[in-house]
């Protein structure tokens, strides 16, 4: 089946999938912990980037085939700028897999892009409840707060995110001259 056909099928089946059980996705492995430790202690951005990418690679693997189709479709809709459909697909993913942090994080990103900052923060909170070290969600919280005009609170949130990943690209949003 072509990729487009598989995604269309996932969209059609989303209500039925919501009734099914998603595998638990809240398991953190020892490798996962080691990657975060390595990222936190990486001496340079160039050393930290491959570790950061490995962690993202773990996060974007959904718990099962159906949830992966929904995640991939939602991310593709984001790439095409189809934020309304992306939010719908990611909402279906969250209904199906409420313990999958990346589903919440991706929907938060869509809501941020739609400038629906309050609901983006709600989704970020859910993602962080499931994955407290999710530096994408941590950076998203900081960026969202800054975009809401809550600059100091956003800078504080960004400092917290940098404790998890000192090489976040958002670090430039801190006041100039501030130590990282």
Q: Are the CB atoms for 96 and 125 separated by under 8 Å?
A: no
**Could you tell me if 162 and 178 are in contact, meaning their C-beta atoms sit under 8 angstroms apart?**
no
Residue 16 clears pLDDT 60, i.e. is over it: no
Beta carbons of 99 and 130 less than 8 angstroms apart? yes
Cβ partners under 8 Å of residue 44, min gap 6 = none
DSSP string for residues in 146-176:
HHTT-HHHHHHHHHHHHHH-TT-GGGGGSPT
- pTM summary value: 0.84
Tokens 């593709």 identify what position? 76
- For residue 1, pLDDT beyond 70: no
Question: If you average pLDDT over residues 126-135, what whole number do you get?
Answer: 96
CB count, 10 Å around CB of 29?
9
Tens of pLDDT, residues 32-79 = 889 999 999 999 999 999 999 999 999 999 999 999 999 999 999 999
Residue-level pLDDT at 55: 95
């Amino acid at each position: 089946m072509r990729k487009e056909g598989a995604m269309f099928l996932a969209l059609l089946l989303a209500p039925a999938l919501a009734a099914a059980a998603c595998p638990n996705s809240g398991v953190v492995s020892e490798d996962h912990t080691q990657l975060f430790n390595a990222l936190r202690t990486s001496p340079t951005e160039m050393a930290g980037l491959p570790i950061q990418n490995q962690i993202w690679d773990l996060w974007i693997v959904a718990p099962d085939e159906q949830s992966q189709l929904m995640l991939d479709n939602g991310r593709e809709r984001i790439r095409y700028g189809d934020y309304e459909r992306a939010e719908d697909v990611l909402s279906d993913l969250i209904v199906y897999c409420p313990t999958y942090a990346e589903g919440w994080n991706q929907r938060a990103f869509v809501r941020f892009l739609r400038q629906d900052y309050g609901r983006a923060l709600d989704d970020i909170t859910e993602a962080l409840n499931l994955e407290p070290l999710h530096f994408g969600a941590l950076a998203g919280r900081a960026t969202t707060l800054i975009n809401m005009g809550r600059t100091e609170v956003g800078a504080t949130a960004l400092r917290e995110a940098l404790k998890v990943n000192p090489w976040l690209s958002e670090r430039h949003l801190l006041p100039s001259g501030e130590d990282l």
